[in-house]
């Protein structure tokens, strides 16, 4: 089984499992987030030697997990926002991967040699498509009118979240490059470690929590 096949298989298991714990809520999501925290810390202290990197990444991880818990439990709107940003982050990663492989454009940065301008564009396009996926999810799990979400503000937020996701990916790549490591761990076949999988989600969920509390997501 090659790396791409491992990546796809892991995603097919990990994504539905994560959504299951989030939807169940209560002790399910608390236990799930504790597991992520413990495994993430194990990775940090195993893979990273720089104390500032460990403190920074651990702080970001804790903030992200607390943001997830708050968005899950606060209101129906915050729960919908959480589901959306998870879908959006996956779409952003997939779009970047597909466009990066198909269209060989100029390299985006020296921080991560595999990142290209075409990949960045693909991430934006797929992130915009997540707004329509959100509409389908809303129709299936609630009585809300999905047309409510097809407003300019959500497409603007999709672009902002996509940029945040890509910056998060680049940030983790930069810190790994400083440590001269390829992956933060080997827990997730095809992906690497916990931080390799959620590097783009961490800044997005923190930003979503801030915007939600500023009442920019009704």
Model confidence over 62-119: pLDDT tens digits? 999 999 999 999 888 888 889 899 989 989 988 888 888 888 777 767 777 677 888 8
Closest by CA position to 81, among listed 67, 60, 65: 67
Position 9 in a domain: yes
Position 178 in a domain: yes
Q: How many domains does the chain have?
A: 1
Closest by CA position to 176, among listed 189, 190, 192: 192
Position 10 in a domain: yes
Question: Which has more confidence, 147 or 160?
Answer: 160
Q: Which two tokens stand for residue 176?
A: 């790994």
Positive/negative CA dihedral, 72, 196, 17, 32: negative
Position 74 in a domain: yes
Position 218 in a domain: no
Task: Write out the residue range of the structural domain in which residue 177 sits.
Answer: 3-213
The pTM of this model reads 0.88
* Terminal-residue alpha carbon distance, the chain: 45
pLDDT above 70 for 4:
no
Centre a 10 Å sphere on the Cβ of residue 87 and count the other Cβ atoms it contains.
20
Position 142 in a domain: yes
Give the C-alpha separation, 159 to 131, whole Å: 11
Position 166 in a domain: yes
Q: Are 160 and 131 a contacting pair, CB within 8 Å? A: no
């Amino acid at each position: 089984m090659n790396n791409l096949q491992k990546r796809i298989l892991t995603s097919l298991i990990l994504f539905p499992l994560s959504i299951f714990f989030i939807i169940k809520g209560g002790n399910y999501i608390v236990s799930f987030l504790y597991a992520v925290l413990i495994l993430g810390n194990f990775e940090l202290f195993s893979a990273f030697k720089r104390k500032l990197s460990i403190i920074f990444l651990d702080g970001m991880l804790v903030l992200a997990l607390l943001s997830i818990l708050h968005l899950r439990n606060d209101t129906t709107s915050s729960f919908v926002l959480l589901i959306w940003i998870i879908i959006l982050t996956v779409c952003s990663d997939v779009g970047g991967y597909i466009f990066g492989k198909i269209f060989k454009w100029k390299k985006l940065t020296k921080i991560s040699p595999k990142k290209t301008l075409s990949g960045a564009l693909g991430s934006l396009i797929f992130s915009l498509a997540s707004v329509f996926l959100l509409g389908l999810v809303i129709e299936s799990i609630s009585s809300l009118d999905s047309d409510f979400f097809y407003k300019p503000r959500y497409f603007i937020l999709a672009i902002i979240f996509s940029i945040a996701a890509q910056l998060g990916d680049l940030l983790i790549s930069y810190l790994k490059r400083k440590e001269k490591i390829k992956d933060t761990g080997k827990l997730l076949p095809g992906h690497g470690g916990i931080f390799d999988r959620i590097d783009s989600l961490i800044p997005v969920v923190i930003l979503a929590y801030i915007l939600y509390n500023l009442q920019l997501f009704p």
